[in-house]
């Protein structure tokens, strides 16, 4: 079996920093759900406020904001890792755009007006960038 060597540079440090920052964003969104549970009286283990709850929409918007970030998080981390192997500076920039999109998405959704979550849609540009860079790496490896 052949050896694999990995040389890391400053760009990889930026990509790692984006990954760390994203963990804080996930935690922040989770704390917002915890605070909303207390504020609106939605007890564990109930995921969403029950139908007819007086603050159903407000709580559920905060919960969905967090849940959506979590649903997208594995693909984000995978693409950040793969794309950073190919083009670490671009991967870090794209990853940062995606994380900022998560934040704006969550802040919009947490207002209780689900339409405002669309303000974070620009984050998909970062996701698409990481996807393209990852595909480029796969093609390079296959063609070599």
Q: What is the pLDDT of residues 64-92, one digit of tens each?
A: 999 999 999 999 999 999 999 999 999 99
d(CA 35, CA 54): 17
Q: pLDDT tens across 104-123, in order?
A: 999 999 999 999 999 999 99
At CB < 8 A and 24+ separation, what contacts does 115-122 make?
117/65, 117/68, 122/97
The residue to which tokens 């990853």 are assigned: 95
At CB < 8 A and 24+ separation, what contacts does 15-20 make?
15/80, 15/81, 15/84, 15/88, 15/91, 15/92, 15/95, 17/92, 18/80, 18/92, 18/95, 18/96, 18/99, 19/77, 19/80, 19/81, 19/95
This prediction's pTM: 0.93
Residue 11 has pLDDT above 90, yes or no: yes
Structure tokens at 11: 């760009």
């Amino acid at each position: 079996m052949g050896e694999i060597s990995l040389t890391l540079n400053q760009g990889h440090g930026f990509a790692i920093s984006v990954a760390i920052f994203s963990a804080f964003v996930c935690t922040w969104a989770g704390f917002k759900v915890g605070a909303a549970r207390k504020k609106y009286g939605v007890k564990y283990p109930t995921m969403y406020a029950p139908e007819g709850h007086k603050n159903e929409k407000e709580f559920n918007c905060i919960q969905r904001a967090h849940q959506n970030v979590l649903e997208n998080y594995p693909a984000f981390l995978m693409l950040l890792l793969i794309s950073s192997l190919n083009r670490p500076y671009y991967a870090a920039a794209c990853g940062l755009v995606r994380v900022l999109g998560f934040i704006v998405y969550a802040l919009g959704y947490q207002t209780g007006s689900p339409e405002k979550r669309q303000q974070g849609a620009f984050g998909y540009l970062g996701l698409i960038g990481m996807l393209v860079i990852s595909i480029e790496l796969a093609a390079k490896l296959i063609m070599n």
